[in-house]
């Protein structure tokens, strides 16, 4: 959906392919018709998990649809499956990991099965410059990142669309029969010049939400953790669900992930604004040291006026991506505001943490090569 709300400053554009401008999340949630996660819901999740995940406490995951319904059903003995995914058109950056780390938290909390969809078909269809082989090379690398996060091997199946189309197609056809061009035009802004593959694709992205129900021949609820820009897909999916007799998939939405560019932008198309999981520690350090910050123009001004952590990618990164602990984060915010800490020092600290994370993650990525096939979907799911 093209949301062209003005928030007094910049035009806000939110579609599954484009996030631009400064985002007013309350307004986005109202416009999309989602609900803000209440403290009560947060506590219900925390109770199952044994702790409140910082991404929940810090409000990165902030909105939902039917999360309450899913939790009620779970409490009445009806387990749900989790579903999330990735479009493999390039390397994974640390921002991507955040949703997946949170998904693992939910998997552990609810002992839930997870379908993780790799949309190689979508990325092939929207990138005329790539061959499928190139997309598959990205995908292989991306899968290593997913596995490296430690998802439950018995409970996680990675769907790669092209290879697993045999498992998805029948459900996708059922979805497609209920969705016409007018709808995808209105929801995604498709034009007549768009190719017929990408026009069909929303049916493929909807399919995993119903896959467990279809394979098991009984109604299995589904919860989708994803950034809120993917919400248009789920609105169509929810609309179709009732027509097909499947449960409406619930969602838990994150805000967009902060990066190292101005206004916290992080985008694979601007590689200097994001740390890729495959970056060498040295490269990551360089990117961080060159990042935009919320600090003042000069050392004197910074000491006098203090910085603004709330627009600072370095602070965001520490807070939302590397998940510094609460005490540390509160202290850093205060020190920044008062000018007690300077940007260079802050960057250096973050660079050290990032390098440590990368070294560990890259080791787990290597180990993942030995486990890869166990995570891949076979014809009949779990």
Q: Which residues bind a second copy (CB under 8 A)?
A: 121, 124-125, 128, 132, 162-163, 165-166, 169-170, 172-174, 176-182, 184-185, 190-200, 202-203
CA dist 376 and 381 (Å) reads 9
**Two structure tokens written together for 114:** 């997870």
Beta carbon nearer to a second copy, 169 or 382: 169
CB nearer a second copy, residue 85 or residue 258: 85
Tell me whether residue 238 or residue 255 sits nearer to a second copy (CB atom).
238
Whether the CB-CB separation of 155 and 107 falls below 8 Å is answered with yes
236 CA to centre of own chain: 19
C-alpha to C-alpha distance for 56 and 39, rounded to whole angstroms: 10
**Least distance between a second copy and beta carbon 279 (Å):** 31
Q: Which is nearer to a second copy, 125 or 209 (CB)?
A: 125
Radius of gyration (C-alpha) of the chain in whole angstroms: 21
Find how far residue 332's CA is from the centre of its chain: 26
| Pairwise CA distance, residues 22 & 85, whole Å | 25
Cα–chain-centroid distance for residue 85?
8
Residues 199, 183: Cα–Cα separation, whole Å: 10
Question: Smallest distance from the beta carbon of 378 to a second copy, in angstroms?
Answer: 13
CB atoms within 10 A of CB 95: 25
Closest distance between a second copy and the C-beta of residue 27, in Å?
30
> In degrees, to the nearest 5, what angle opens at C-alpha 70 toward C-alphas 14 and 34?
25
Q: Which one, of 83, 71, 109, 377, lies nearest residue 234 by Cα?
A: 83
Q: Minimal distance in Å, beta carbon 169 to a second copy?
A: 4
Closest distance to a second copy from the beta carbon of 52 (Å): 41
Closest distance of CB 270 from a second copy, Å:
25
Shortest spacing between CB 173 and a second copy, in angstroms: 6
Based on CB atoms, which residue is closest to a second copy, 174 or 287? Answer: 174
The CA distance from 342 to 97, in Å, is 28
User: Which of 196/297 has CB closer to a second copy?
Assistant: 196
- 72/170 with CB nearer a second copy: 170
């Amino acid at each position: 959906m093209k949301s062209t709300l003005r928030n007094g400053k910049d035009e806000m554009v939110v579609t599954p392919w484009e996030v631009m401008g400064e985002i007013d999340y309350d307004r986005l949630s109202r416009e999309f018709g989602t609900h803000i996660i209440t403290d009560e819901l947060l506590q219900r999740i925390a109770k199952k998990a044994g702790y409140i995940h910082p991404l929940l406490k810090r409000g990165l995951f902030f909105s939902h649809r039917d999360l309450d319904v899913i939790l009620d059903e779970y409490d009445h003995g009806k387990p749900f499956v989790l579903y999330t995914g990735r479009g493999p058109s390039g390397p994974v950056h640390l921002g991507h990991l955040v949703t997946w780390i949170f998904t693992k938290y939910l998997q552990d909390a609810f002992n839930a099965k997870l379908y993780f969809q790799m949309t190689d078909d979508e990325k092939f269809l929207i990138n005329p410059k790539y061959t499928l082989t190139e997309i598959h090379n990205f995908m292989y690398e991306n899968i290593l990142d997913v596995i490296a996060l430690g998802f439950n091997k018995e409970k996680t199946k990675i769907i790669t669309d092209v290879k697993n189309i045999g498992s998805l197609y029948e459900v996708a056809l059922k979805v497609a029969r209920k969705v016409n061009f007018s709808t995808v035009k209105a929801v995604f802004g498709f034009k007549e010049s768009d190719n017929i593959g990408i026009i069909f694709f929303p049916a493929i992205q909807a399919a995993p939400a119903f896959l467990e129900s279809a394979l098991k021949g009984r109604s299995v609820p589904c919860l989708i953790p994803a950034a809120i820009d993917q919400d248009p897909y789920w609105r169509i999916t929810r609309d179709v669900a009732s027509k097909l007799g499947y449960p409406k998939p619930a969602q838990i939405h994150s805000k967009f992930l902060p990066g190292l560019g101005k206004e916290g932008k992080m985008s694979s198309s601007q590689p200097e604004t994001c740390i890729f999981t495959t970056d060498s520690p040295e490269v990551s350090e360089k990117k961080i040291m060159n990042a935009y910050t919320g600090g003042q123009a000069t050392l004197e001004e910074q000491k006098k006026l203090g910085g603004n952590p709330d627009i600072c990618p370095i602070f965001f990164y520490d807070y939302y991506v590397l998940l510094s602990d609460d005490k540390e984060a509160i202290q850093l915010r205060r020190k920044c505001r008062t000018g007690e800490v300077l940007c260079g020092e802050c960057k250096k600290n973050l660079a050290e943490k990032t390098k440590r994370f990368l070294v560990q993650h890259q080791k787990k990525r290597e180990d993942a090569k030995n486990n890869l096939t166990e995570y891949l979907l076979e014809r009949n799911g779990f």
